[in-house]
Amino acid sequence: MDRLRFESGAAMLSNIRVAVGAPDIRNKLMTEGKLVTYGIYFDVNKDVVKPESYGTLKEIAAILNEVPDVKVKILGHTDADGADSANLDLSKRRATSVKAELAKSFGVNADRIETDGMGESQPVAPNDTPVNKALNRRVEFVKL
């Protein structure tokens, strides 16, 4: 079957598949003012950023380093497993760890970043299945 054919001076293409890319994270943060990420990982009840998070962190750092006057707040969120107070503390520590990693590993000026944690107080899904709990465990970047 022809995929590229020239006919009467025009090129015709067939059997083309267009892949849909990931959402434009730069647009989400800079235009919409908020970026919700699920690509930053931690072990259960830990606040150390796992190495598999570095792809996401690198993309975010590139945006922040491109626009040096923008300030952001990093908000950590947890699912509802465990005590409310423990989740609030964990979410704050995780946000602080993300800030430290952006500064240490990717050269983002830490003075431009605020952090806070919301614990389990702002779920985006019911805490009733593993999939929904995973949706609630997230890191958000909010443009200030």
pLDDT single digits (tens) 87-141: 999 999 999 999 999 999 999 999 999 999 999 999 999 999 999 999 999 999 9
Could you give the number of structural domains in the chain? 1
- Which of 13-17, 19-23, 72-76, 86-90 is predicted least confidently? 19-23
Domain-located, residue 13? no
Q: Which residues lie closer than 8 Å to 106 by C-beta, 6 or more apart?
A: 57, 58, 61, 65
Q: Is the dihedral of CA 50, 48, 118, 125 positive or negative?
A: positive
In the numeric block, which tokens belong to residue 11?
């090129």
Domain that holds residue 47: 22-143
CB 29 within 8 A of CB 141: yes
CB count within 10 Å of CB 9 equals 5
pTM over 0.85: no
Domain-located, residue 17? no
Say whether pLDDT at 144 is over 90. yes
- CATH number of the domain at 80, please: 3.30.1330.60
Domain-located, residue 1? no
Domain-located, residue 10? no
Please report the pLDDT score of residue 28 as a whole number.
86
Domain-located, residue 54? yes
- Mean pLDDT, rounded, for 61-77: 95
Domain-located, residue 2? no
Banded pLDDT at 17 (limits 50, 70, 90)? low
Domain-located, residue 9? no
Domain-located, residue 37? yes
pLDDT single digits (tens) 49-60: 999 999 999 999
